[in-house]
Amino acid sequence: MEKIKNFFKEVARAVVRFIVLVYCRIIYRVKIIGKENIPKDGALIFCGNHRTYLDPPLIIVTAGRHIRFIAKEELKKNPLFAVLGVLFEGIFVKRDAKDISAMKESIKTLKNKGAIGIFPEGTRNGFEKNDGKVKNGAAYMALKTGAKVLPIAVVGPSKPFTKNAIIYGKPIDFSEYAKDKKIEKEAEDEVSEIIKQEILKLCETKI
């Protein structure tokens, strides 16, 4: 029964990916750059800038890997995002509380060689709203699990029938920053800053 359930889930994912990809290609003229940089297997943290609600689906349908995105719990109130959350095994987090369960589930996924998607900004257009500050969640998970971080940039006006692109950078190995079992705050901050700068560099890509 479990195998049958998983089979139909994979079929449903494939159908949704196709529909969303066609939509993005036609309506937003999305160009995919750097897809060859994405490892086909192994623990990986996808980290990108966050502009619109379209960002997570766009990454999911273009990356070629099953990605479990970390998203705010409020999105479950939207029927569409609630269904997508179940289908793509999203990890919902309570933003106003220390949601340990969400972090544990994310780390478990990475230790099982899976992929996690997260926006270090913490919210849409967070680089502008938070004076350039980013959350340390991605850095912590990378240091805790040894997972590589793959920076992403979504660029363009994000308006229908304009030129947009998603750029995948090269994966970054932060193992040298995890010197012992205890993760230092200074290491988290440094890794977070590197991730941020790599995303910003990709955001300057001309399309």
Q: Averaged over 19-33, what is the pLDDT?
A: 93
Full-prediction pTM beyond 0.95?
A: no
Burial class (CB in 10 A: 0-12, 13-18, 19+), 171: middle
Residue 114, domain extent: 2-203
Q: How many domains does the chain have?
A: 1
State residue 38's pLDDT score: 98
State residue 127's pLDDT score: 72
Q: Which residue in 59, 56, 11, 40 sits closest to 114, CA to CA?
A: 40
State residue 134's pLDDT score: 85
Q: Tell me the per-residue pLDDT of 1-13, one tens digit each, with 9 for 90 and over.
A: 777 878 888 899 9
| Average pLDDT value over all residues in the chain | 90
The CATH number given to whatever domain includes residue 10 is 3.40.1130.10
CA–CA distances in Å: residue 182 to residues 31, 59, 70: 41, 32, 24
Coil, strand or helix: which one is 96? coil
Is the dihedral angle over the CA atoms 143, 133, 71, 172 positive or is it negative? negative
Rounded to whole angstroms, the Cα distance separating 137 from 134 reads 9
Q: What percent of the chain lies above the pLDDT cut of 70?
A: 94
Rounded to whole angstroms, the Cα distance separating 205 from 43 reads 26
97 has a pLDDT exceeding 70? no
